[in-house]
Structure 1
Amino acid sequence: MSSLLERLAEVRKSGEVGRLAEAIPYARWMRIAPENGTGELLTRMRFHDDLIGNTFLPAIHGGTLGAMLEMTAIFHLLWETETETVPKIVNITVDYLRSARPADVIAAAKVTKQGRRMVNVFAEAWQDDRSKPVATANAHFLVTSSDDAPPSL
């Protein structure tokens, strides 16, 4: 069992979903962490100056929004599903809908289809008003366990 999955088991027992980000260095650096204070699993990316892509507007860089949406989907899969492996991204399509101001970004995800090996996830990010998303994403993840791997030759 990987250390991430061991930590996930500990976090599930404690119920503190925010601790899930501690296991992922990139999430810590980006200041992306899940939270469930409202009863819904949300992911928040805390604003910091390193996120700015366009200094003239200023606006958050689109790559950081895409990374945040991917992390949102991963947190959702780790917390809300009974996956026994760390989800591996197959592809992601991000739609940038409006400029993200220099402020926190919040996102939510939902599984749109789950098979035995693949999971499709939709994620949506906004700032102040959920009805005005700044970006959305559709992502596909591989969630096979080691039992599903073909025998090695």
Structure 2
Amino acid sequence: MLKKQGFTLIEIIIVVVILGILAAIALPALTANIGKAAAAEAFQVGSSYVQAVNRCLADESAGVAVTNAMMANCTSFVQVRMTNPAGALPANFASFTPALAGTTITLTATPNVKNGIVAADTILFAFNGLTGAVTKTCNGAFAKMCK
């Protein structure tokens, strides 16, 4: 008498169904973690940039009130003695763009297009040189990350 070997068709189908259910649960969680990791990178760069701007303003003002001219001297990465991190590994962001509007310095983080994240999904840091207030605005895929 021959012995049966291998798995039956129903056993294989059950295993495939279980793997499909696990993949359906795990994939959204994995995608969310990719977005969180990218946002964390932008938050780290934004925090470092704001600290560098603060140091620059402290050097510029020397104890007097901050002016628009002082703000203009503390906007770019070069002025605040910081290397522009765009393109460095891990390269989740295509650019970090500083700008000055009055007494507010902004840093816009524009992501690389990958893993469901598009270029419009930006993170904006705004630093008010007079009050020291910092605000973050997250758009698109990063919308939930700023809360």
TM-score with structure 2 setting the length: 0.33
Report the structure number with the largest CA radius of gyration: 2
Which one has more relative contact order, counting CA pairs under 8 Å at least 6 apart? 1
Decide which structure has greater strand share: 1
TM-score with structure 1 setting the length: 0.32
